[in-house]
Amino acid sequence: MSHDPHRGDDTPERGAGPRFAGRGAKADPRNRFTAREVERDPDAFEPEDARPETRVHVDASKTVLARNQSPDVGFDVSVNPYRGCEHGCVYCYARPTHEYLGLSAGLDFERQIFVKRDAPALLRDALSKPSWTPRPIAMSGVTDPYQPLERRERVTRGCLEVLAEFRQPVSLITKNHLVTRDLDLLEELARHDAVAVTISITTLDDELRASMEPRTSSPARRLAAIRALAEAGVPVGVNVAPVIPGLTDPEIPAILAAAAEAGASFAGTVMMRLPHAVEEVFTSWLETRDPARARRILARIREVRGGRMNDGTFGSRMKGEGTYAEQVRALFRLSCRQHGLEGRPTLSAAAFRVPGHSVQPGLF
């Protein structure tokens, strides 16, 4: 078996379908903004050996802080070191962002990755400006900052070095054990109550994970990351997300129990949503992997989305609506109470500083 340096840290080559090994999407859905369509020659790849390579592009953005105005997202400023994500999660709501680049939300999203190599320098400049008001930053708001490519590119670590130097509060969310590589910086931020890490766990079934999230860390490795962070004194929680109605919602109690046992101190959850081309990517995956249950699962998804596959309405898009969605929320709340996961850490900007800038003492 050949080694692919861009695969997850412990991801087996299985479950991604016979045509594109190690990838979540089975094809490139049509880009809603362009007339370009891609049809792949069915004889172009050997069925058992196909592994579309990751292509790295340099993102030349001149700014690094993204502003969020969505009222149901828990942050207003974020840093995204990457565009696109090698993790290849079939349900990823961020897939349609690649369409703005003239690419596809399918295979392109997980193999055409744009790297913001200037992000640490841009972040330093932004935090040094007198106009910056210290407040928590989210990393990332779109794609995973610890996707496999980070092991080589180290852009996220570079940003964390800047954040630690400024004592700038940051919340991180990831599905990759690679976050533990940066324990030294996370511990430094934790000393100033300036960091919280959330590990997303969708399922404890590694076979399902390998098919649905092909280049992510295994559930066991994610729980190990929670344990390592907690033991280092870094506030860490679990995000049971996304909950896929009819498929993963029965696992909510077990996921929360395992995360609490590993040291998680808080928890969150998000109901799956399938905007634009994500519907095609997810449906294709589901009907290929589990045709016998696909119709029932899709019906459950429509049930929590008002009869549709997606509802982008602020307030309901993260949690769904209807009786079934409320049952899922009730199960989550009950499990959180049982395992002491109801609170959330408060990040502090009290220790923020601009390195090299002296602060004039106040007059008494």
Q: What is the mean pLDDT of residues 279-301?
A: 95
Residue 346 has pLDDT above 90, yes or no: yes
- Specify the higher pLDDT residue, 314 or 212: 212
Residue 36: the pLDDT is 55
In the chain, the amino acid numbered 340 is G
Beta strand 65-67 with 82-83 is unpaired
Q: What is the mean pLDDT of residues 265-275?
A: 95
Residue 71: the pLDDT is 65
Residue 291: the pLDDT is 95
Please enumerate, as own/partner, the contacts of 284-292 that have beta carbons within 8 Å and a separation of 24 or more.
284/25, 284/26, 284/27, 285/17, 285/24, 285/25, 285/26, 285/90, 285/211, 285/212, 286/90, 288/17, 288/26, 289/15, 289/17, 289/211
Residue 100: the pLDDT is 86
pLDDT band at 65 (very low <50, low <70, confident <90, very high): very high
pLDDT tens-digit map of 206-255: 999 999 999 999 999 999 999 999 999 999 999 999 999 999 999 999 99
**Residue 330 has which token pair?**
């009730």
Residues in the chain: 364
pLDDT band at 14 (very low <50, low <70, confident <90, very high): very low
pLDDT band at 360 (very low <50, low <70, confident <90, very high): very low
Q: What is the mean pLDDT of residues 70-81?
A: 81
Task: Report H helices in the chain.
Answer: 107-111, 119-128, 150-153, 155-166, 183-190, 206-212, 219-231, 252-262, 278-289, 291-303, 323-338
Environment class of 206 (CB within 10 Å of its CB; exposed 0-12, middle 13-18, buried 19+): middle
Residue 295: the pLDDT is 96
Residue 348 has pLDDT above 70, yes or no: yes
Q: What is the mean pLDDT of residues 279-302?
A: 95
Percent of the chain with pLDDT over 90: 74
Q: What is the mean pLDDT of the chain?
A: 88
Environment class of 343 (CB within 10 Å of its CB; exposed 0-12, middle 13-18, buried 19+): exposed
Residue 67: the pLDDT is 87
Residue 270 has pLDDT above 90, yes or no: yes
pLDDT tens-digit map of 133-182: 999 999 988 999 999 999 999 999 999 999 999 999 999 999 999 999 99
Please enumerate, as own/partner, the contacts of 350-356 that have beta carbons within 8 Å and a separation of 24 or more.
350/192, 350/193, 351/167, 351/192, 351/193, 351/194, 352/134, 352/166, 352/167, 352/168, 352/169, 353/166, 353/167, 354/127, 354/128, 354/166, 355/165, 355/166
